[in-house]
Amino acid sequence: MSTLDVMATTAASVSDICAQAKAASRKLAALDSETKNRALEALADGLEERASEILEANERDMEAGRENDLSASLLDRLQLTEDRLATIARDVRDIAALPDPVGEVVEERTLPNGIRLEKVLVPMGVVAVVYEARPNVTIDCSALCIKSGNAIVLRGSSMAAHSNAALASVAVEAVEGAGLPPGSISLVAGGDRDELRQIASADGLVDLVIPRGGDGLKDALKQHATVPVMYAAAGNCHVYVDSDADLDMAVSIAVNAKTQRPSVCNAAETLVVHSQIAPEFLPRAFGELLDRGVELRVDGRARSLAGDAAERTTEATERDWATEFHDLILAVKVVDSAEEAIDHINRWSSGHSEAVVTSSDDVAQAFTTEVDAACVYVNASTRFTDGAEFGMGAEIGNSTQKLHARGPIGTRELCSFKWIARGDGQIKE
């Protein structure tokens, strides 16, 4: 299937696309692991063989993005490179190598009446993923859904239209060529906002919607969704440096969490520092952050303790504590206790990823117990919150909800379960 063929799928109605996906999902649920893995290997091969075509399509989106004055962080998320494409292909192979979750028995017992009961993982059915600037989502999500026996309906943004179409073309051709049914992977590519409403209200056809994007996308879904939604949330992440933190470690983690890739959702947006270590820590950390081009928005206490770097900071506002910057901007607050730090984080966090740097077991225990987030780190950067880093091959997103799945959404999180009861003629008295 060519890129133009994939882009033309919008000529079919959203309902028709979802109906075909539903039909495919019933066949996918019964597929053996070998067939699914063969399809994923073919997908990885296709990405490598058609890399120049994909990168050419991506450059068209990048050119349009530059003409439309997209921010540097959006352009970074939009861009594909040879290295990034190679990483995507490698992640697909990693997903193929994972154990198949479908059919896994997660619980079993025999009831007093002799009925043998099993709780077994089964595919969700049709998963619709609605996403914005990142074209890698097209492949990551497709691979995870195929591995977990689900059909996927993709709806990307217009800013990545050419990239998504090229990637989806490779994916569709690869998996159907390996024997998977038509509709296993579908792309709704028109960019019409009404498509979102149609997908989110496709009761009986779509089993789960997962949005990856900003608050505007989430708000739009909340207005229209009648099918279940698992929100892959934004990341307003924090690093807290405690009073007895190792100074070298604290600087390294704070700088990495902010600057290693600031446009992503697991980058730190706020640095919280204990007042006892702040006089020694802040001048050093600020120097390294400023050298890397970070804009520092600090409270009054942080500025007073920043030394020579103070004049290169600006005053933080309450809005800064609530903002996911997606950029080289960092808010900084000084506190007098771990309890105050935890309170600040719980007030402003999006529940994505939070880190503490400390040598105290008591502080580490309090932080991991009391901070309300999907992923909590002790003496490590928040940048590790990722399905690939967690050994899941890739992720559809990072759920900050507390029902069904929390944290990176991988193959097992794309499964529901059913109870299978085996008897010998038992009847209810």
Q: What is the pLDDT of residues 142-163, one digit of tens each?
A: 999 999 999 999 999 899 999 9
> CA-to-CA distance for 160 and 387, rounded, in angstroms?
22
The model's pTM is: 0.83
Give the tens place of pLDDT for each residue, 364-404.
999 999 999 999 999 999 999 998 899 888 888 888 887 78
What pLDDT is attached to residue 121? 96
Give the tens place of pLDDT for each residue, 304-338.
998 889 899 999 999 999 999 989 999 999 999 99
Q: What mean pLDDT, rounded, does the chain reach?
A: 92
For residue 408, the Cα-to-chain-centroid distance in whole angstroms is 6
> CA-to-CA distance for 140 and 167, rounded, in angstroms?
11
Helix (H, G, I), strand (E, B) or coil at 243: coil
Here the tokens at position 285 are: 């950390």
Split at pLDDT 50, 70, 90, the class of 418 is very high
What pLDDT is attached to residue 388? 86
Going by C-alpha positions, the residue among 253, 233, 294, 290 that lies closest to residue 383 is 253
- Beta strand residue intervals within 244-360, DSSP E: 268-274, 295-298, 313-315, 329-335, 353-357
**Does the structure show a pLDDT above 70 at 406?**
yes
39 near 175, Cβ under 8 Å? yes
For residue 412, with 0-12 CB atoms within 10 Å meaning exposed, 13-18 middle and 19 or more buried, which class applies? middle
- The phi, psi pair for 61, rounded to 5°, reads -65, -40
358 near 246, Cβ under 8 Å? no
| Average pLDDT score over residue span 340-348 | 97
Half-sphere exposure at residue 301, Cβ-oriented, CA atoms within 13 angstroms: 13
> CA-to-CA distance for 93 and 122, rounded, in angstroms?
22
Listed by start position, the domains of the chain span: 3-232+396-422, 237-384
Domain 237-384 part of CATH 3.40.50.2300: no
Split at pLDDT 50, 70, 90, the class of 8 is very low
Q: In what order do the strands lie in the sheet with 105-110?
A: 105-110, 116-123, 415-422
**Does the structure show a pLDDT above 90 at 102?**
yes
**Does the structure show a pLDDT above 80 at 260?**
yes
**Does the structure show a pLDDT above 60 at 254?**
yes
> CA-to-CA distance for 223 and 254, rounded, in angstroms?
38
Give the tens place of pLDDT for each residue, 25-80.
999 999 999 999 999 999 999 999 999 999 999 999 999 999 999 988 889 989 99
Here the tokens at position 390 are: 């967690």
Angle, to 10 degrees, between the axis of helix 161-177 and the axis of helix 136-147?
30
Instruction: Give residue 201's identity as a one-letter amino acid code.
Output: S
What pLDDT is attached to residue 303? 94
Give the tens place of pLDDT for each residue, 167-215.
999 999 999 999 999 999 999 976 667 888 999 999 999 999 998 877 7
What pLDDT is attached to residue 114? 95
Q: Looking at domain 3-232+396-422, what is its CATH homologous superfamily?
A: Aldehyde Dehydrogenase; Chain A, domain 1 (3.40.605.10)
What pLDDT is attached to residue 191? 62
CB atoms within 10 A of CB 121: 20
> CA-to-CA distance for 317 and 324, rounded, in angstroms?
14
Residue, of 24 and 8, whose pLDDT is higher: 24
| Average pLDDT score over residue span 279-298 | 96
Neighbouring residues of 340: CB distance < 8 A, sequence distance ≥ 6: none
- The DSSP output letter for 202 is -
Split at pLDDT 50, 70, 90, the class of 263 is confident
